[in-house]
Amino acid sequence: MTAPFGRGTRIAGTGRALPAEVVTNADLEKIVDTSDEWIVQRTGIRARHRAAEADTVFSLGRDALLKALDRAGVRADQLDMIIVATVSGEMLCPSTAARISEAVGAGEAAVFDLAAACSGFLYGLNLADTMIRCGRAERVAIIGVEVLTRLVDWNDRTVSIIFGDGAGAAVVVADPDPRKGCVHQTMHGDGRMWRTLYHPKCDRDVPAGDEANPIRLGHLRMHGREIYKFAVTRFQEAIQDALDRTGLKVGDVQQYICHQSNQRIIESAVEKLKLPPERVYVNIDRYGNTSAASIPICLDELYEAGRIEAGKPIILVAFGAGVTWASCVWNP
């Protein structure tokens, strides 16, 4: 299947940056009433990275982008656009993308942040592909980066066990072959479900009915069960739709890259759609849920390991707060 327009796109390079500190489940056992066994069974998570005082969305995003540029052989001043997918940036104004642009020397590239939570990187990748395909840009950098551990109440065991910090980046460039790059994409949202995961800063942010929520203002509030049910359904639908719309068979896909939210959510899609488990990438055990950074970290690890071959499609799917969800069938 070929996407519209006369040219395609290519991921020229990827990179990732993780804070040095690793918090294991055993460390969490010392803070809240939980156990390694419960966390592993319910989520698949064994450890996550946590930002130190000096680590920021800006610094992690910058470092991931510098690696991606280096691997891509692209100079920062050749970029036309920098998209930073994040919901945990230090400042809303200016965008984190603007500060990263200055730090890497990207000159007059367009810069903006994209708040689609865990779907943010895929939203950005889909936008970048479309901009390049239709000739409005030649080289676009997409960075997915979060320090969600700063937004978490470490005494709230339902949320603190899940999230980790990190950054991943990709540099996407034009390719003369229109069969390359994104050949199918979807981006969706359902604002009626925003209350399932939100970050209230003051009283007026709190939705009616949730005033008695024991989690303090300034921390993430999550209704895990509701998100779980939504995610299981959407993951399966998004992958099935991607296969149907491209005419691909399950075995034609070399890698399924799912947002790393919960291993059980990924496994339910594997079982239902009979995906070959060895082609479904999982690294949640080492990183937890890094939200917008999760998919680009997976991509970077796969490219680094030489596990993404040219000419064989990959399918990427994500869901997140908002709620949002997105998919992409990519021909490397």
Is residue 259 part of the annotated active site? The answer reads yes
Kindly give the pairing relationship between strand 110-114 and strand 81-85.
parallel
Considering 25, 49, 118, 258, which one is annotated as catalytic?
118
The C-alpha atoms of residue 157 and residue 153 are separated, in whole angstroms, by 8
Is residue 298 part of the annotated active site? The answer reads no
CB of 254 to ligand COA, least distance (A): 25
Considering 49, 184, 219, 259, which one is annotated as catalytic?
259
Token pair in block for residue 190:
């359902």
Is residue 223 part of the annotated active site? The answer reads no
Q: Contact residues for ligand COA (CB under 6 A)?
A: 34, 38, 42-43, 118, 157-158, 161-162, 197, 222, 224-225, 227-228, 231, 261-262, 289, 320
**Alpha helix stretches (DSSP H) within the chain:** 25-29, 36-43, 57-72, 96-104, 120-133, 157-160, 224-246, 263-273, 284-287, 294-304
- Cβ(11)–Cβ(71) below 8 Å: no
In the DSSP assignment, the letter for residue 174 is: E
Token pair in block for residue 170:
């990709």
* CA dist list (Å): 62 to 11, 49, 95, 230, 327: 18, 17, 13, 33, 25
CB of 288 to ligand COA, least distance (A): 10
In the DSSP assignment, the letter for residue 206 is: S
Owner of token pair 């969600």: 148
CB of 11 to ligand COA, least distance (A): 23
The C-alpha atoms of residue 144 and residue 114 are separated, in whole angstroms, by 9
By C-beta, is 43 or 101 nearer to ligand COA? Answer: 43
Considering 126, 262, 289, 331, which one is annotated as catalytic?
289
Ramachandran region, residue 12 (left: φ > 0; alpha: ψ -120 to 50; beta: rest): alpha
- Cβ(313)–Cβ(257) below 8 Å: no
Which residues belong to the active site? 118, 259, 289
